[in-house]
Structure formats: structure tokens, C-alpha cells
Amino acid sequence: MDTTIDPTAWSALLMGLTALFAGIGALRKPGAWRVMIEEVEKSPALQFVCGMLELLIGGVIYLANPWLPSDILACVLKAMGGLMMIEALAILGFVDIYTQFWLRSLSHMHRGWAMTTVLIGLALSVPALLRFH
């Protein structure tokens, strides 16, 4: 009986499903992301919690996925984990500047960001599911 798990497959599946359903939610409720970002911008407690949570999740994803050039999914996830950690630090240190970027972007590209998020979710979920035997 094989009891090993594939951290890359699980990381990709969980990240993919999160992105997929977040994108679907944003398409169902236009403006929800903008409201969330506005709430984070107004609350130092939410800024800290969001930054620390993203740093933790990004760190776990980064550390769980090896850099193996032959495993494209693992490399993509390692890069995503690293980018998440950088974004978390930006939230913790420069939330006023960072949230303004997203608020301007979401005001005229909401549907595009939501669709991109859905596509990223599919791009992570499908290969993850294919890795499970």
C-alpha cells in the first residue's frame, strides 16, 4: 500500500479550487472583491491578518514544492508561493499603495480579473487531478 502523498498535486488542487470558486463568486457578485479590498484598506487588523495568512500559505506552498525543471507544475507552484510571500510583505508594509493599485484595476477590469482567476483555477486543478492515480 502506497501511503506517500504528492504535495505538488495537493497544493495545485487546493490552490486551483480556491481560485476557481473565488472567480466564480466574483462573477456571480460583481463588486465583491472591490468591497473586500476597501475593507482591508480601512482595517489595520485585517491588513495584518491578510498579510500574515498569505505569508503562511505562500511559505508552505513554496517549501512543499521542489524546483525540478522536469516537473513544470511543481516549478509553477514554487514560483506562485514565492510571489505570494512577496505580495504578503507588500500588504504588510505598503497596504495603502498596494490596495490603490487593485482598486483602480478592479474598477474597469473586474470581469477580466474574475475570468483570469477562473482560468488559473482550471489550469492548476486539471493537472493536479491528472497526477492522482
Instruction: Give 94-115 pLDDT, tens digit per residue.
Output: 988 888 888 887 777 788 899 9
Q: Following DSSP, what letter does each residue of 1-35 receive, concatenated? A: ------HHHHHHHHHHHHHHHHHHHHHHSTTHHHH
Residue 52 near residue 88, CB atoms below 8 Å: yes
Residue 2 has pLDDT above 70, yes or no: no
* pLDDT one-digit tens code per residue, 42-90: 999 999 999 999 999 999 999 999 999 999 999 999 999 999 999 999 9
* Cα→Cα distances 39→36, 50, 90, 95, 103, Å: 5, 11, 17, 12, 11
Write out the three cell numbers for 133: 492515480
Does the pLDDT value for residue 118 go beyond 60? Answer: yes
Contact 38, 133 (CB under 8 A): no
Lookup result for grid cell 498569505: 54
Q: Locate the domains of the chain by residue range.
A: 7-131
Handedness of CA 77, 78, 84, 87 (dihedral sign): negative
Q: Quote the cell numbers at residue 9.
A: 498535486
pLDDT value for 31: 87
- pTM (two decimals): 0.87
